[in-house]
């Protein structure tokens, strides 16, 4: 996979700035906001693999996040397995759940809104189960001990979690860039554009969609481990929050579906707008109204997201120069 020199240069520069950012930021709050932006962008990218590239919209992406959070947390609290190993178990369980959900859904021919609703149903089913069984802590949830160290993926300062979220983000961007230049990525795009035509051309659509949801599941599992070790507490409403599922798809839609940097741009814009609205608007609930209004405007007038707007502007400029 070869990228143009200009693109490679700007990506390397952006990564360098991100790596050096904590040395120039003295505010813990600002560092936490950046960590949240990177983490949400990572979650958005996991949704983007299935929803953006393959065109299979899911409303239950949080099921992988919750399963990963519970997997690593239970392994730590019940068996003493450190999260640096537990995160790989979380990735495996997320991918396995993706295999099960994907096979049951896609093998039955579910598409569009039917697939979106069945994933929402799976997420709700897992929330009810987590709320009912004893080994998850039931409705009380699981409290994790604070024991800083790389083996526990816990850190004494926000800088550690910042770099943790940055590593996850870089991995997600690498996966998206691989899809952009791979045969598998081209097959997913063909499925998104016209699944019947892709199948007629010899694409194994069932296998491709299952692989895509397994990648999404594995990424979601890692995200769950990050959250559990950062906040040291999980319960069913947090782990299987529908609001988080919505946020995953929103940052991708706002930034640009089926693009490498769409989720990152969407996450940065939405969280920045949210923090500004909360800071300058003191009336309770009014900041959420402003936030929602901006979302409606972006989604209504920019169907291809902010990256789509940038590409359109660039194309118009090139046409004018020509």
* 227-248 pLDDT, tens digit each: 999 999 999 999 999 889 989 9
* 63-117 pLDDT, tens digit each: 999 999 999 999 999 999 999 999 999 999 999 999 999 999 999 989 889 999 9
d(CA 139, CA 74): 15
**pLDDT score of 287:** 64
Among 119-128, 148-157, 249-258, 270-279, name the one with the lowest average pLDDT: 270-279
d(CA 92, CA 105): 20
* Residues in CB range of 135: below 8 A, 6 or more apart: 74, 78
Cα 267 to chain centroid distance, Å, stands at 10
**pLDDT score of 289:** 77
Q: How confident is the model at residue 283 (pLDDT cuts 50, 70, 90)?
A: confident
Residue 273 has pLDDT above 80, yes or no: yes
Contact of 49 with 102, CB cutoff 8 Å = no
Per-residue three-class SS string for the chain: CCCCHHHHHHHHHHHHHHHHHHHHCCCHHHHHHHHHHHHHHHHHHHHHHHHHHCCCCCCCCHHHHHHHHHHHHHHHHHHCCCHHHHHHHHHHHHHHHHHHHHHHHHHCCCCHHHHHHHHHHHHHHHHHHHHHCCCCCCCCCEECCCCCEHHHCECCCHHHHHHHHHHHHHHHHHHHHHHHCCHHHHHHHHHHHCHHHHHHCCCCHHHHHHHHHHHHHHHHHHHHHHHHHHHCEECHHHHCCHHHHHHHHHHHHHHCCCCCCHHHHHHHHHHHHHHHHHHHCCCCCHHHHHHHHHHHHHHHHCCCHHHHHHHHHHHHHHHHHC
**pLDDT score of 322:** 62
**pLDDT score of 6:** 62
**pLDDT score of 19:** 94
d(CA 18, CA 29): 16
pTM equals 0.93
**pLDDT score of 295:** 73
Share of the chain above pLDDT 90, in %: 72
CA distances from 279 to 37, 106, 234, 274 (A): 17, 45, 28, 9
């Amino acid at each position: 996979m070869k990228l143009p020199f200009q693109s490679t240069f700007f990506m390397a520069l952006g990564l360098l700035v991100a790596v050096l950012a904590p040395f120039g930021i003295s505010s813990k709050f600002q560092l936490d906001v950046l960590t949240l932006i990177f983490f949400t962008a990572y979650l958005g990218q996991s949704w983007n693999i299935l929803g953006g590239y393959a065109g299979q919209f899911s409303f239950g992406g949080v099921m992988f996040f919750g399963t990963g959070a519970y997997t690593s947390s239970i392994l730590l609290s019940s068996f003493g397995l450190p999260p640096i190993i537990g995160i790989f178990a979380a990735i495996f369980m997320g991918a396995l759940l993706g295999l099960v959900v994907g096979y049951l859904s896609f093998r039955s021919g579910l598409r569009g809104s039917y697939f979106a609703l069945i994933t929402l149903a799976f997420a709700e089913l897992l929330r009810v189960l987590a709320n009912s069984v004893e080994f998850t802590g039931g409705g009380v949830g699981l409290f994790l001990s604070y024991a800083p160290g790389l083996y526990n993926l816990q850190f004494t300062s926000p800088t550690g979690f910042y770099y943790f979220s940055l590593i996850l983000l870089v991995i997600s961007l690498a996966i998206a860039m691989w899809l952009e230049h791979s045969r598998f990525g081209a097959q997913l795009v063909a499925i998104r554009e016209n699944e019947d035509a892709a199948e007629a051309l010899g694409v194994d659509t069932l296998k491709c969609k299952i692989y895509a949801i397994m990648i999404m599941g594995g990424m979601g599992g890692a995200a769950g481990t990050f959250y559990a070790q950062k906040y040291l507490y999980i319960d069913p409403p947090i782990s299987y929050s529908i609001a988080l599922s919505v946020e995953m798809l929103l940052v991708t839609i706002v930034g640009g579906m089926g693009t490498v940097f769409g989720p990152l741009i969407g996450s940065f814009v939405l969280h920045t707008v949210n923090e500004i609205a909360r800071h300058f608007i003191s009336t309770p609930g009014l900041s959420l109204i402003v936030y929602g209004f901006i979302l409606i405007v972006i989604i209504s007038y920019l169907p291809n997201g902010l990256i789509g707007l940038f590409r359109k502007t660039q194309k118009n400029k090139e046409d004018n120069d020509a």
